[in-house]
Amino acid sequence: MKQYGLIGRRLDHSRSPEIHRHFFDHYGIEGCYGLFEIEPTNLAELPHALALLGVAGANVTIPYKEAIIPFLDRLSPTAQAIGAVNTLVCSGGKWVGDNTDAYGFSALLKHHGIEVEAQRVCLLGSGGASKAIEVALMEAGVGELILVTRQAEETRRKYEAAASEKPWLAQALAQDRLQIWSYETLETRKTPFRLLINATPVGMGSLSGQSPVGEGVLAGCEAVVDTIYNPRETRLMAQARSLGIPTAGGLYMLVAQAIASQGLWQAMEADPRWIDQLHQRLLRGDSAKDRPIFLIGLPGSGKSTLGKALAQALGWSFEDMDNYVEQLSGSTIPALFEQGEAYFRDWESQACLELAQRRKTVVACGGGVVLRQKNVQVMVDQGRILWIDRPLEAIRQDIDRSTRPLLQKDSEALTRLDQERRALYAEAAAMRIPNEGTQGRVLTEILEALAH
């Protein structure tokens, strides 16, 4: 069996194995595709390690698309023109760096019918993906490309230096066809764009729920592409949608670049019709049914017990948000509270963002997760919220107050929490589940509610 894989630093939310599995099934190839998380200090050894393991080809992602270059034997002309690598091909015992991101982005534009010829386009970020997109846009005949970066002066210097090895870049800079702006310039100039592209990680992972630009910038755009594919709709896309601007996410690009990488490894042409079919299939698989389920409610309302039972019934994973906060922060909940409730809530918001990107996961939330509207927004956008509503008397009989910082002070604290939060739970949740009677009965009620 031939082995392939993805090299990056944090890969737990990658969809690449799923895409490559479909490819192997479709073409009847005996292959497997793994995830190789490596630390920057080990990058130099990577090509040798891949050869030792018998890996036939690999993809490269954040943050190694440029950093890997010094350790490769040579670059393909495409990777040379881009200055970044997303595909490693083993050829005659040597590692060749190639790049299929430009192909993936061109395929995305074509699929969504976005024309950029002779148009003004704005591209956010100057990393590996951005460099491939620049080449794709130049090849598509873009009129004016505005590259927006957090460090305009430094990026300009780097681009001018790189121009000696990239003839297309030297020409584009000389003709002012490629301009480098800061975000301040972008926000103040209010320039209209045919297309705005996000090639930064703002909107995914720990930056989920954030947008790289304000609505003032978007107002002048005719279309928005976010190269992020998880979450399916980023904050930037939601902003654009609310302004009536058409949007596209990064899933099509992801599929197209992956199949083009397979084309390089298997020495065959990527079939655009099959890319379309696979894209549709992945979109269907992304259906609302896989989105995480968040259980909210007062401490002691049964969220963890019911959450575990629900996860088992669905064949999903279970996460306790407080445990996740402890792992994330490396501290206990009482210790976090000792630094002030806001400090704990910041960690909780971070956990909320990360867990919202899971698929097929039931999350038992902390009782106060609804106190921040941004947490509710993330959970509503990315998942479904169920309110587990248990009578206060039943909670009082069971609860272990020693482990609940907010209930330690006095016996009436629970009543006050209920008064403060009831309306918030009701407003946030798609459904209220009364937790009365046996666990089996409540679980059946939840499963029936979810089926609708």
Quick one: which segment of 112-120, 128-136, 168-176, 277-285 binds ligand NAP (CB under 6 A)?
128-136
Neighbours of 154 (CB within 10 A): 12
Structure tokens at 230: 């998880």
Q: Does 62 bind ligand NAP (CB under 6 A)?
A: yes
Q: Which residues contact 288 (CB under 8 A, 6 or more apart)?
A: 384
Neighbours of 152 (CB within 10 A): 19
- Please say which residue, 63 or 263, places its beta carbon nearer to ligand NAP: 63
- Applying CB under 6 A, the span of 126-134, 217-225, 273-281, 331-339 interacting with ligand NAP comes to 126-134
Please select the residue that binds ligand NAP; options are 46, 228, 333, 362, rule is CB under 6 A: 228
Please report whether residue 5 would count as binding ligand NAP according to CB under 6 A: no
Judged by CB under 6 A, does residue 130 bind ligand NAP?
yes
- The stretch among 38-46, 121-129, 266-274, 421-429 that binds ligand NAP (CB under 6 A) is 121-129
Q: Looking at beta carbons only, is 378 or 433 nearer to ligand NAP? A: 378
Q: Does 250 bind ligand NAP (CB under 6 A)?
A: yes
Is 34 an interacting residue with respect to ligand NAP (CB under 6 A)? no
Token code pair at residue 445: 């009620």
Cβ of residue 95: shortest distance to ligand NAP, in angstroms? Answer: 19
CB 302 within 8 A of CB 275: no
166 is catalytic: no
261 binds ligand NAP (CB under 6 A): no
Quick one: which segment of 144-152, 189-197, 267-275, 297-305 binds ligand NAP (CB under 6 A)?
Answer: 144-152
Contact between 383 and ligand NAP by CB under 6 A: the answer reads no
65 lines the binding site for ligand NAP (CB under 6 A): yes
304 touches ligand NAP by CB under 6 A: no
Stretch of 224-232, 291-299, 328-336, 341-349 lying at the interface with ligand NAP (CB under 6 A): 224-232
Q: How many residues bind ligand NAP (CB under 6 A)?
A: 29
Is residue 98 a contact point for ligand NAP (CB under 6 A)? no
**Shortest CB 164 distance to ligand NAP, Å:** 20
Residue from 57, 83, 97, 212 touching ligand NAP (CB under 6 A): that is 212
Which residue among 253, 260, 325, 370 contacts ligand NAP (CB under 6 A)? 253
Which three-class secondary structure string do you get for the chain?
A: CEEEEEEECCCCCCCHHHHHHHHHHHHCCCEEEEEEECCHHHHHHHHHHHHHHCEEEEEECCCCCCCCHHHCCEECHHHHHHCCCCEEEEECCEEEEECCHHHHHHHHHHHCCCCCECCEEEEECCCHHHHHHHHHHHHCCECEEEEEECCHHHHHHHHHHHCCCCHHHHHHHHCCCEEEEEHHHHHHHCCCECEEEECCCECEHHHCCCCCCCHHHHCCECCEEECCCCCCCCHHHHHHHHCCCCEECCHHHHHHHHHHHHHHHHCCCCCHHHHHHHHHHHHHHCCHHHCCEEEECCCCCCHHHHHHHHHHHHCCEEEEHHHHHHHHHCCCHHHHHHCCHHHHHHHHHHHHHHHCCCCCEEEECCCCHHHCHHHHHHHHHHCEEEEEECCHHHHHHHCCHHHCHHHCCCCCHHHHHHHHHHHHHHHHCCEEEECCCCHHHHHHHHHHHHHC
Minimum distance between the CB of residue 229 and ligand NAP, rounded to whole angstroms?
A: 5
Answer yes or no whether residue 229 interacts with ligand NAP by CB under 6 A.
yes
Is residue 101 at the binding interface for ligand NAP, with CB under 6 A as the rule?
yes
Contact status: 263 vs ligand NAP (CB under 6 A): no
How many angstroms separate the CA atoms of 280 and 450, rounded? 24
Residue with the shortest CB distance to ligand NAP: 127
- By the rule CB under 6 A, 227 interacts with ligand NAP: yes
Q: What is the largest CA-CA distance in the chain?
A: 76
Q: Say whether residue 14 binds ligand NAP (CB under 6 A).
A: no
C-beta closer to ligand NAP: residue 122 or 202: 202
155 touches ligand NAP (CB under 6 A):
yes
Using CB under 6 A, pick the residue from 11, 85, 169, 202 that binds ligand NAP: 202
Catalytic residue among 65, 131, 166, 303: 65
Joined together, the tokens standing for residue 46 give 């990577």
- The β-bridge partners of 8 are 37
Q: Which is nearer to ligand NAP, 8 or 366 (CB)?
A: 8
Contact residues toward ligand NAP (CB under 6 A) are 62-63, 65, 101, 104, 125-130, 149-151, 155, 199-202, 204, 207, 212, 227-229, 250, 253-254, 257
Which active-site residues does the annotation give?
65
